[in-house]
Amino acid sequence: MQKVAITLVVNGEQAQVSVAPQATLLEALRYGLALTGSKQGCDKGDCGACTVLAQAEGSDERQPILACITLAQDAQGLRLTTIEGLSGPAGLDAVQRAFAECGALQCGFCQPGMMLSARALLDETPKPTLPQIQLALSGNLCRCTGYTKIYEAVQVAAGMREPSSRLPVPSERAPAEQADQQQKVREIAP
């Protein structure tokens, strides 16, 4: 198969990758650069698991883009951030720490994309309202959490609240049942 050599700037590093002309950015990241943190959930732009951040030349804003419907060749010239680049020498990003601490990561498969969308939101809106969070994350499908702990994690990352510390409620023991019930069940069993 014929391949083309392209140059990508990912997580601050410039890399040469050889890809098929029709290869997507997601394929270039996962197969070409072994950056497997970006996930393939649908390969057609529906689920958001492949979300990475892209910064155009001359712009100071990092925007979430879907790597599975971006041609690898078209990503040349963009400064890309994948989940591997969100943490630095100082450790995990505040978003990653909050997602881990709040239980926003269940299976974790959608979360690289989710956390990058959350990072882009907080870069632009440091103290988002709940509707702002819901809107910003609406392109990232999660099947595990019902989004509840994801909202909490974004708010924790923004320093707007502490992680949930609610305690369970005890149930008082109900009075014991009549002893004849077992007999009754035996009588009417099929």
Partner 1 sequence: MSEGRPRKSPTDLPESKAPTRPGGIGARVPKVDAAGKADGSGLYADDLSFPRMLYAKILRSPHAHARVLKVDVAKALNHPGVIDALVGAELPERYGVIPWTQDENALAVDTVRFIGDAVACVAALDERTADEALRLIEVQYEPLPALLSVDESREHPEIKIHERNKSGNISKHVELEFGPVDAEMASSAAISDAIYHYAGSTHAPIEPHCAVARVDGDGNLTVWSSTQIPHYVHRELSRVLGLPPARIRVIQPLLGGAFGGKSDPFALEFCVAKLALKTGRPVKILYTREEVFYSHRGRHPMRMHVRVGLDKEGLIRAVDNKIDIDGGAYSSFGLVTAYYAGQLLTGPYRFGTYRFDSTRWFTNKPPCGPKRGHGSVQPRFAFECALDEAAEKLGIDPVEVRRRNFIGEEVLTINGQRIGSNGFLKCLELVEEASDWRARHGKLPAGRGLGVAGSMYISGTAYPIYPNEMPQSGVLVKLDRSGRVAVYSGASDIGQGVNTLLAQICAEELGCDPRDVTVVAADTDLTPVDLGAYSSRVTFMCGLAAKEACEALGKKLREAAASKLAVLPGDVRAELGTLSSSSEPHKNISFAEACRLAEAAAGVPLAATGGYRTKKLGGDYRGGTIGASPAYSFTAHVAEVEVDEETGIWKVTKIWAAHDCGRALNPTLVEGQIEGSVYMGAAEAQMEDMVYDRRGLLYGPSLLDYPIPTSLDTPLIDALMVESNEPGGPYGAKEAGEGPLHAAIPAIANAIHDACGIRLRELPFTPARVLAALQARDQRNQIAAVSPQRTA
Residues numbered 108-147 forming contacts with partner 1, rule: CB under 8 A: 108-112, 115, 133-135, 137-147
Residue 129 or 182: the one with the smaller Cβ distance to partner 1 is: 182
Cα–Cα distance, 156 to 142 (Å, whole number) = 19
Interface residue with partner 1, options 28, 120, 150, 158 (CB under 8 A): 150
Residue 2 or 14: the one with the smaller Cβ distance to partner 1 is: 2
Tell me the CA distances in angstroms from 127 to 21, 83, 150, one per residue in order.
Answer: 42, 22, 15
Residues 8-37 within binding reach of partner 1 (CB under 8 A) = 20, 30, 34-37
Two tokens at 179? 């002893």
Tally of CA atoms within 13 A in the half-sphere of 44 that contains its CB: 1
Size of the site for partner 1 (CB under 8 A): 79
Residue 86 or 120: the one with the smaller Cβ distance to partner 1 is: 86
Q: Would you say 153 and 92 are in contact if contact means Cβ atoms under 8 Å apart?
A: no
Residues 34-73 within binding reach of partner 1 (CB under 8 A) = 34-44, 46-47, 49
Cα–Cα distance, 7 to 46 (Å, whole number) = 27
